[in-house]
Amino acid sequence: MEAFADEGINEIAAMCSAQSAKTLTILCCLMWAICEDPGPILWVTSDKQEAVKLVKGRIIPMMERCDPVWKRIPKERGKFNTLEIYFPGAPLIITGAKSPASLQSTPFRYILLDEVRSYPPGALEMVEKRTRSFPHNYKKIIISTPDMENDALHAAFMKGDQRHFLAQLPCGHEQELDWKDKNDKGGLKWDSIRNEHGRDLDKIKTTVRYQCEECGAVQAPTLLTRKFISSHGRWEKRNPNAPSNCASFTWGALLPWWTDWGAQVVEYLSALQRLDWGDHEPLKSFTNETQGRVWTDLLRYLKHDKYLRARELDFDTRGKWPLEQKRFATIDVQAAGGRHYYLVIRAWGTGGVSRLLHVEKIGPGVESYANVLLTCEAWGVAKQDIIFDVGTFQSELFQQIMEAGSLPNGDYAMKAMWGDDRPYFLVNGQRHLWTVAPTDPYLGRKGQGFVRPINVILWSKPSLQDRLAFFMHGLGETDWRIPPWIDNDYRKQVTAWDRREFTDNYGRRRTEWYCPKGRPDHYYSCELMQVVAASARGLLSTPREGGPLFEHAAQLVETTDV
């Protein structure tokens, strides 16, 4: 509101969480403009129905309570209509972004834009031209919860001086309120409490507190503390290159004192669980509505390449790891330059904890396949935990799986996996990251129908890529590790895939996983299959016992098993 009254500022963009008194802020600016600095005013909301609701529910009641404005209400017939109120020197028009005619009509000095993300495409650009008659003293204010990166709101925020609120905590330190990583000092913290049904959300809610990133002091969310935090602090400008007449602001739902931190934690944990089922919407909604950030903030985070460093841990790959439940060998087969194999051996505990033990490119050469099996044996991988990607050389691999023998129950010991582009598989009406497809190893050839089928594990590539990204970035409560001495070949391949944006057939901006053509990603495939294997063995759906840091990693990864 100070920026609104500042003569040097023409454009204000605020990108913030839901329940942040957005409409109230614009209302206050409106009342101020009518009395203190009148000019033609246009208020744009999503559609006409919304506009009528806004006038009757918010604008008129506010005017009734604001004496200076009420005195200026026009008494003449025809000057006080629902969507057009002619104040002296300040005609006020309220309209919906879906009514293009009204957006193109008269010039306005004030343009107030509410919830721009529900505007139809192009409406914002059109309405922005309406201030041309007031080049020096126009005022445009956009305030909305964000949506996608580079959309109109985000662009307006980026163009401005990008002010973030540095809240002062009761300990005296200033910082932007943030969720932060679980293992970092500072940010929102909570205890992971479980009962026999899984996460005990009611109990978790009561443990939520805020930790100072400077001194580590912990603040319980009492009303007094919350009010202190939201009323002490200052705005920090982070864009020195902004035009001097453009101010922009951003904040999340941790800041306003009337929001519930506990409810936000519950929303976050539930969103992570939904992600496990291949459903991104709750996490996107959490990012936009609660964190007040564009959805691709997370995806941009995925693009910097230092993240793998943070997963390094100096452990003894040959030593005994008390948390280990299973170790898997996953193998990607390649032909170029002679048959060779990319092998990853990784140990897993329950609840998403994992350590990389060995990676190796084996071959080419006639002994390559035998060497793969010998290496697995040397590392103590049981035959039933050796897994081949059968996306290529299928009949050859099927033959090898049949020759490697069976378990006492008659199933083949070694496993076959196949990545699929579907986002999930419906099993008994529920979404799963993978499914089992019994496949005749002799399909279409002599011998078809005479041998036991191979249970090929079909897995959803995009969903597993999301999951592996969470492991590789240490998000949620995972603990996925690599030894620091791991070679560059591995590092390059496991970071080969990235998220990128594209526009779908409906004109919506979406993101997809993308790997530059020709960039090798064999170890990446092996790591994806490791996550599938851990999920298939139930290791991701069982909480880890007794560990102080990650005892409840299963919160991230519950209930994926068929």
Residue number with CB closer to Zn ion (209 or 509): 209
Smallest separation (angstroms) from Zn ion to the CB of 175: 8
Q: How many residues bind Zn ion (CB under 5 A)?
A: 6
Query: CA nearest 483: which of 372, 317, 341?
Result: 317
Segment near Zn ion (CB under 5 A); pick from 156-164, 166-174, 385-393, 426-434: 166-174
**Left, alpha or beta for 150 (phi > 0: left; psi -120 to 50: alpha)?**
left
Q: Closer CB to Zn ion, residue 148 or residue 169?
A: 169
Nearer to Zn ion, 98 or 164 (CB): 164
Contact 333, 363 (CB under 8 A): no
Nearest-10 Cα torsion for 81, 84, 87, 91:
-160
Between CA 374 and CA 389 the distance in angstroms is 18
Gap between the Cα atoms of 341 and 361, Å rounded: 6
Task: Compute the distance between CA of residue 109 and CA of residue 87 in angstroms, rounded to an integer.
Answer: 14
Interface pick for Zn ion out of 58, 79, 173, 491 (rule CB under 5 A): 173
CB of 211 to Zn ion, least distance (A): 9
Q: How far is CA 492 from CA 311, 363, 515, 551, in A?
A: 15, 20, 12, 31
How far is the C-alpha of 214 from the C-alpha of 229, rounded, in Å? 15
Comparing CB distances to Zn ion, the nearer of 218 and 374 is: 218
Task: Considering the complex, state which of residue 173 and residue 509 has its C-beta at the smaller distance from Zn ion.
Answer: 173
Binding mask 279-318 for Zn ion (x = CB under 5 A): ----------------------------------------
Choosing from 1, 171, 374, 378, the residue that interacts with Zn ion (CB under 5 A) is 171
Is the CB of residue 541 less than 8 Å from the CB of residue 559?
A: yes
Strand partners, 399: none
Q: Does 218 bind Zn ion (CB under 5 A)?
A: no
Q: Is 209 in the site for Zn ion (CB under 5 A)?
A: no
Minimum separation from the CB atom of position 215 to Zn ion (A) = 3
DSSP 279-316: --HHHHHIIIIIS---THHHHHHHHSGGGGGGGB----
For the bound state, the minimum distance from the C-beta of residue 548 to Zn ion, rounded and expressed in Å, comes to 24
215 binds Zn ion (CB under 5 A): yes
* Shortest spacing between CB 192 and Zn ion, in angstroms: 24
Residue whose beta carbon is closest to Zn ion: 212
Q: Which is nearer to Zn ion, 170 or 520 (CB)?
A: 170
Q: Which of 212, 464 has the CB closer to Zn ion?
A: 212
Q: Which of 64/236 has CB closer to Zn ion? A: 236
Q: Which stretch binds Zn ion (CB under 5 A): 71-79, 209-217, 258-266, 473-481?
A: 209-217
Q: What are the CA-CA distances from residue 50 to residues 40, 97, 160, 281, 484 (Å)?
A: 21, 10, 28, 24, 57
Question: Which is nearest to 418 in space by CA: 454, 466, 369, 382?
Answer: 454
Cβ atoms of residues 521 and 493 within 8 Å: yes
The window from 2-10, 215-223, 235-243, 414-422 that contacts Zn ion (CB under 5 A) reads 215-223
Residue ranges in contact with Zn ion by CB under 5 A = 171, 173, 212, 214-215, 217
